[in-house]
Amino acid sequence: MAEARIIDGKGFAAGLRARIGAAVEQLRTTHALVPGLAVVLVGEDPASAIYVRNKGEQTREAGMHSVTHRLDASTSQDELLRLVNQLNNDPSIHGILVQLPLPGHIDAQAVLSAIDPAKDVDGFHVVNAGRLSVGLPALVPCTPLGCMMLLKDTVKDLRGMHAVVVGRSNIVGKPMAQLLLQADCTVTIAHSRTRDLAGICREADILVAAVGRPEMVKGDWIKEGAVVIDVGINRVPARDPAAAAAGKTRIVGDVCYAEAASVAGAITPVPGGVGPMTIACLLANTVTAACRSAGVPLPAGIGL
Ligand SMILES: Nc1nc(=O)c2c([nH]1)NC[C@@H]1CN(c3ccc(C(=O)N[C@@H](CCC(=O)O)C(=O)O)cc3)C=[N+]21
Ligand SMILES: [Mg+2]
């Protein structure tokens, strides 16, 4: 059997960011509208710090207004809520992202609920989750949105295909299932407690792995020719034992890539697959939020 086609998320994301940059330039010249994104980071988690820096850089590269608030890990929930409220009322800010996870003393749901749904570019507010589930215009969570863009680019006609989503988080699994359903797929949501998970996965024409367990999905879980979207980003010890002993790590997905690539028809790599799409879609959502708030038509080429 032929080796799977590699779905180039990194390349697709670069193209999407270029289209976003052009749209931002149009909005500025024709509507005097500059989309603005505020990212809030509480504490010093090193991975989060890198993501937040990348978000800020890519936002500016697209010509957008970017603000990053870095708060001490000891910041109280009240202080964080005051900042969110201030950003809700700031007309230069169209998108607000509070980086997760938050320190344990802060109730993440309370913070997410405080974000104005119109500025909720993560799409995590219950209003956006509800709007997505009933088919109303919504801000759609960035990772599933990016997965969907890659799928639509890879598969000519998704209608009637059996999509299996492994993982049921509010951030990826559930919204992913909603988007697939909207694209007329037949959708199964599976998870760690699913009976015969391997057998269910083998029925998938489209397999989305979003469980957060390194290389859990094996090659023999995959139907010949299936499209595999690997959402996982797991840090594991480096392959080389000496490097591993020295604390070096590498990143793997939720899918055992080498095994899967010899069975699947197409597959996203990790890194370079879904991850870069997540940030590009954050920029796209910020443009969407800015246009909706200003009553300006959405630019073409940056949505589903
Ligand atoms: N409120 C909130 N919204 C988020 O969207 C959010 C969050 N909190 N907390 C953390 C996770 C993680 N996340 C990623 C973004 C980009 C890559 C990414 O660009 N990955 C690259 C590089 C991977 C690497 O080398 O680390 C890749 O997969 O190729 C990964 C992960 C967004 N998150
Ligand atoms: Mg689970």
- pTM assigned to the model: 0.98
Exposure pattern of 109-145 as b/e (b: 16+ CB <10 Å)? Answer: eebbbbbbbbbbbbbbbebbbebbeeeeebbbbbbbb
CATH 3.40.50.10860 region(s) of the chain? 30-119
Which residues define the annotated binding site for NADP(+)?
167-169, 233
Q: Is 43 left (phi over 0), alpha (psi -120 to 50) or beta?
A: left
Residue 58 Cβ < 6 Å to ligand 1: no
Spatial contact of 99 and 50, defined as CB atoms under 8 Å apart: no
CA distances to 26, 28, 36, 64, 290 from 32, rounded to whole Å, are: 9, 4, 13, 12, 11
**Can you give the pLDDT at residue 2?**
82
Ligand 1, closest atom to CA 141? 5
Q: Which CATH superfamily is domain 30-119 in?
A: Leucine Dehydrogenase, chain A, domain 1 (3.40.50.10860)
**Number of the ligand closest to the Cα of 235:** 1
Per-residue pLDDT of the chain (304 residues; tens, 9 = 90+): 689 999 999 999 999 999 999 999 999 999 999 999 999 999 988 889 999 999 999 999 999 999 999 999 999 999 999 999 999 999 999 999 999 999 999 999 999 999 999 999 999 999 999 999 999 999 999 999 999 999 999 999 999 999 999 999 999 999 999 999 999 999 999 999 999 999 999 999 999 999 999 999 999 999 999 999 999 999 999 999 999 999 999 999 999 999 999 999 999 999 999 999 999 999 999 999 999 999 999 999 999 9
For ligand 1, atom 16, the nearest C-alpha belongs to 275
Residues whose CB is less than 8 angstroms from the CB of residue 157 and which lie 6 or more positions away in sequence, other chains included: none
Ligand 1, closest atom to CA 50? 26
Spacing, Cα 252 to ligand 1 middle (Å): 13
- Which ipTM did the prediction report? 0.96
For ligand 1, atom 14, the nearest C-alpha belongs to 275
**Can you give the pLDDT at residue 1?**
64
Residue 12 Cβ < 6 Å to ligand 1: no
H helices of the chain, in order, are: 9-31, 46-61, 77-88, 108-114, 126-134, 142-154, 173-182, 197-202, 241-245, 257-261, 274-294
Ion ligand 2 contact residues with beta carbon within 5 A: 191-192
CATH 3.40.50.720 region(s) of the chain? 142-275
CATH architecture of 142-275: 3-Layer(aba) Sandwich (3.40)
